[in-house]
Chains A and B, each alone.
Chain A
Amino acid sequence: MRKKTTYILSLFIIVQQFTHAQNINILVANTKSKIEQVKDYTALGKMKTNVAFLKLPIANVKVYFKNPNKFKLKSEKGVSFVPKGSMNINLNSIFTENNFTIIDAGSEKIDNIPVRVAKLLPNDDNNDLVLTTLYIDPVRLLILKSKTTTKESGTYELKMNYNKYATYSLPDKILFSFNTKDYKLPKGITFDFDDGTTNSSTPKTEKYKKGEIEILFSNYEINKGISDDIFK
């Protein structure tokens, strides 16, 4: 009797784990399908750059996306520093690569919203992408946060807030975090005016610092068609 109970319990655990794993695959697939309903979009944005050595005003930007992975972030006016990993701002870029293994990494909470954590590992060893972690709201099928580690460009983190365009999986606000190297000009080449003020807030030894880009989106135009010329 005891042996039989152990056998049933083991079988139950195996079945549940299999179902759970299948659930995360389905969840990721459903989330992907929801994102893919948007074939193209444009949106206006206000981009705020928060990097220690860059003192930049809030930039008015326009973003363009066209299926499957064409994305462009353009400044409407003035000189603009566009983050090199800005492609990652676009959620579709996460699913450009179909050939990956999904691992269920449990559940967490983001801003008190329960999320499922899925780790996406590319099957191709030569892929620049090393690992993507998605934090998915299973009720609304929305990615609230993603962490992407690449071989070439380090780790990016993306946090999304949804409101008006949640049905299209398009965020109203994103916070894009990345590592940035220290910026150091040799003394003497700029002939600076010493006004007596100094910056001592940052430790001198910190070679890599965190940079953040916040974009508030508005005026989405979805599935209205975009010319390919914009992405050239």
Chain B
Amino acid sequence: MLNLLQIELYKIYKRPRTYIAFAAITAIVLIFQFAFKSDGQSYMNLMLQNVQDNFELDKSKAINGYFMCYIILNTLLVQVPILVALIAGDAISGEANMGTLRLLVTKPFSRTQLIVVKFLASFLFTIILLLWMAILALFVSLLIFGTDDLLIFRVKGEESQILQITQDDVIWRYFAAFGYAAIALTVIASLGILLSVFAENSIGPIVATVCIVLFFTIVSNINVPIIDKNIKPWLFTSYLVGWKGFFYIGVDADGQPIKGSIENWLAIRNSLYILIGHIGLFIGIAIYSFRKKDILS
């Protein structure tokens, strides 16, 4: 099975479209870093709004490497599912399209093993993609912008808040957030593999995965109470941004942040369970369907 995994990884490595994801992430991150280095103060003015009427803030200190990484992740983790879909959506359907699927299933591996290996390969691709993001968005930003306390701008219910996390309390949150993001993106990979089982060419499952993610994400962010209450909890995309929960620092009765704390760990844990449940569900259906599938190509 390890051999099969190596072969799958080699296929991903050889495929030019694999590098589209890395190139896109590199370009987006570099543009963000350039834009904030040139004129990050305008963004800060937008976020601070009338806070500046009462308070002075050294914005150059506030725009630091940690803040940059948060802003980049905030934008990129909405787009990265599309990049993951490019690989996962091609997993089975790509073989069918090239006419190699029939040959593949004649090899001494079960169909379950084949799906599991395809899933593991997509998972590893997702991890490597996230590592690349971490290197560029976090470590390169730290080199360019330096370190300082992290400011988080947040809308909580009807109120907006600014949370300050001291710099010695930030890095573990990023490790936790990247770990969470890996699980969240694996849901997309699983969905891509599931849809890939039913198609004979790559375009269909890739586009279908992207459309489902986009549609669910838009619905998740409509911010209409009836949707928030009745539909949002049922969409897996509502939990993709759960990584942010690690940056919602807990506060004491006086409103002072408690170092090393998370405001609502239970919500993050439940979101993780839901995401892991989705991975199991999608892969389970994919295995079941693939085992029953009449392979003609």
Contact = CB atoms under 8 A, between A and B. Distances in A.
Contact of B259 (A57, A178, A190): A57
Contacts of B50: 181-183
Interface in B33-74: 47, 49-51, 53-58, 61-62, 64, 74
Contact of B264 (A56, A197, A199): A197
Interface stretch (B15-23, B91-99, B157-165, B284-292): B157-165
A193 B275 CA distance: 14
Interface stretch (B82-90, B101-109, B112-120, B236-244): B236-244
B57 A79 contact: yes
B53 A183 contact: no
B148 A199 contact: no
Interface in A190-232: 190-200, 202, 204, 211
B274 to A, nearest CB: 13
B244 A48 contact: no
B51 A183 contact: yes
A55 B58 contact: no
Contact of B251 (A55, A80, A193): A55
A159 to B, nearest CB: 17
B162 A54 contact: yes
B54 A84 contact: yes
Given A79-B57, A81-B57, A197-B264, A192 B166 contact: no
Interface residues of B, number: 55
Contacts of B57: 79-82
Contact of A81 (B55, B64, B259): B55
B154 A190 contact: yes
Contacts of A183: 49-51, 160-162
A197 B257 contact: no
Contacts of A193: 241-245, 248, 267, 271
Nearest to A74: B58
A141 B56 CA distance: 33
Given A55-B162, A55-B251, A57-B257, A192 B154 contact: yes
Interface string A119-160: 000000000000000000000000000000000000000000
B267 A195 contact: yes
B245 A195 contact: yes
Interface string B262-283: 0110011001000000000000
Nearest to A196: B267
B256 A57 contact: yes
A3 interface: no
A190 B155 contact: yes
B223 A57 contact: no
Nearest to A186: B155
A194 B228 contact: yes
Contact of A55 (B78, B157, B256): B256
Nearest to B163: A55
A interface, over-half SS: loop
Nearest to A184: B160
A50 interface: yes
B199 to A, nearest CB: 31
B74 A191 contact: yes
Contacts of A81: 51, 55-57
A208 B62 CA distance: 26
Contacts of A79: 57-58, 61-62, 64, 148-149, 151, 164
Given A78-B166, A181-B50, A200 B157 contact: yes
Contact of B162 (A53, A80, A84): A53
B221 interface: yes
B231 to A, nearest CB: 12
B54 A197 contact: no
B55 A84 contact: yes
A181 B54 contact: yes
B153 interface: yes
Contact of A82 (B56, B74, B161): B56
A55 to B, nearest CB: 5
B249 interface: yes
Given A57-B256, A78-B149, A178-B54, A188 B158 contact: no
Contacts of A11: none
22 contacts: A52-B255, A55-B162, A55-B251, A55-B257, A57-B259, A58-B256, A78-B164, A78-B166, A79-B164, A80-B57, A81-B56, A82-B56, A84-B53, A84-B55, A190-B74, A190-B153, A191-B241, A194-B232, A195-B245, A196-B264, A198-B157, A199-B156
Interface of A: 48, 50-58, 78-85, 178, 180-185, 187-188, 190-200, 202, 204, 211
Given A57-B166, A194-B232, 11 more contacts: A54-B51, A80-B58, A81-B55, A83-B54, A84-B54, A85-B54, A185-B47, A187-B155, A190-B74, A190-B155, A198-B158
Closest 3 CB pairs of A and B: A198-B157, A195-B267, A185-B160
